[in-house]
Amino acid sequence: MIKIKTEKEIKIMSEGGKILAKIMEELKKKVEPGVATKELNKVAENLIFEAEGQPAFKGHEGFPATLCVSVNETIVHGVPSDYKLKKGDILSLDLGIKYKDFFTDMAMTMPIGDVDPEVLRLIEVTKKSLEVSLEKATIGNTFGDVGEIVQRYVEEEGFNVVRELCGHGIGRELHEDPQIFNYDRGKRSEKLIPGMVFCIEPMVTMGDWHLQKSKDGFGYETKDGSLSAHFEHTIALTRRGPLVLTEDK
């Protein structure tokens, strides 16, 4: 069942979302060649506690860290480690916080140093697909409309969307109904109404979209080893339209 939020609850989630966005901006400043991914995790955790929040992911379904750090072919849920970033990598950071009993969640992908122009295009297309999805995240449309426009835009640009993972509702729980797919499933889905709060998170690959579990037991990576990118925002649907909560504005 989809849980509808009150204006007061959305305001609290907006406060948490702004904190989360600021933390992600601080993390971006720390990303450079030679940095171990576990160091980014430490920074994220410290910043969350300084903001009087709680890590959303640590301990969730056994996940051992605060920050999901996914490099190259790993698309989501990578565990921070001793791995040191190097020029030519692409890095996806996924972070969630709990603030005043409500969760927010966001993700972004960035290049490490100079990368191939086609890799930059992958990142930009994935980011743009999230922006495009907001055109359909309006009252009266369905979550199927959202998935259809993401898939259409990504495939027109020559890339593929992951089918095996999806976005989700969010609120007092990190993962709530509904599931929000990034492709056209050809099925009727829930209509969007004011008070819904959800995460749209396109996951896009340069090659085939099929995934497999990573060696760390938590991450998911492309079966064919192709590079991948991931962007996510927490969004509230208001009578004035979609409101991105995970922006520092």
What pLDDT is recorded for position 161?
A: 98
- Between 10-14, 29-33, 245-249, the lowest mean confidence (pLDDT) is in 245-249
Q: Is the pLDDT assigned to residue 187 strictly greater than 80?
A: no
Mean pLDDT, the chain, whole residue set: 97
What pLDDT is recorded for position 105?
A: 98
Alpha-helix residue ranges (DSSP H) falling in the chain: 7-30, 37-50, 117-133, 143-156
Which tens digits make up the pLDDT trace of 134-176?
Answer: 999 999 999 999 999 999 999 999 999 999 999 999 999 999 9
Q: Is the pLDDT assigned to residue 249 strictly greater than 80?
A: no
Helix (H, G, I), strand (E, B) or coil at 151: helix
Fold of the domain built from segment(s) 7-244: Creatine Amidinohydrolase (3.90.230)
What pLDDT is recorded for position 190?
A: 87
Which tens digits make up the pLDDT trace of 16-63?
Answer: 999 999 999 999 999 999 999 999 999 999 999 999 999 999 999 999
What pLDDT is recorded for position 162?
A: 97
What mean pLDDT do residues 166-195 have?
93
- How far apart CA 25 and CA 111 sit, in angstroms, is 15
**Domain limits, the chain:** 7-244
- How far apart CA 227 and CA 182 sit, in angstroms, is 18
- How far apart CA 68 and CA 150 sit, in angstroms, is 23
Q: Is the pLDDT assigned to residue 204 strictly greater than 90?
A: yes
- Triad 110, 183, 158: Cα angle to 5°: 55
More confident residue, 190 or 147: 147
Question: Cβ neighbours of residue 166 under 8 Å, at least 6 residues apart?
Answer: 179, 180, 181, 182, 201
Residues in the chain: 249
What pLDDT is recorded for position 178?
A: 95
What mean pLDDT do residues 106-114 have?
97
Alpha-helix residue ranges (DSSP H) falling in 91-180: 117-133, 143-156
Query: Buried (b) or exposed (e) across 121-150, using 16+ Cβ within 10 A?
Result: ebbebbbebbebbbebbeeebbbbbbbbbb
- pTM, entire model: 0.96
Share of the chain above pLDDT 90, in %: 97
What mean pLDDT do residues 81-107 have?
98
Which tens digits make up the pLDDT trace of 232-241?
Answer: 999 999 999 9
Q: For 132, how many CA atoms within 13 A lie in the half-sphere containing its CB?
A: 18
pLDDT-derived band at 78 (thresholds 50, 70, 90) equals very high
What mean pLDDT do residues 175-198 have?
92
pLDDT-derived band at 189 (thresholds 50, 70, 90) equals confident
Task: Tell me phi and psi for residue 75, to 5 degrees.
Answer: -95, -35
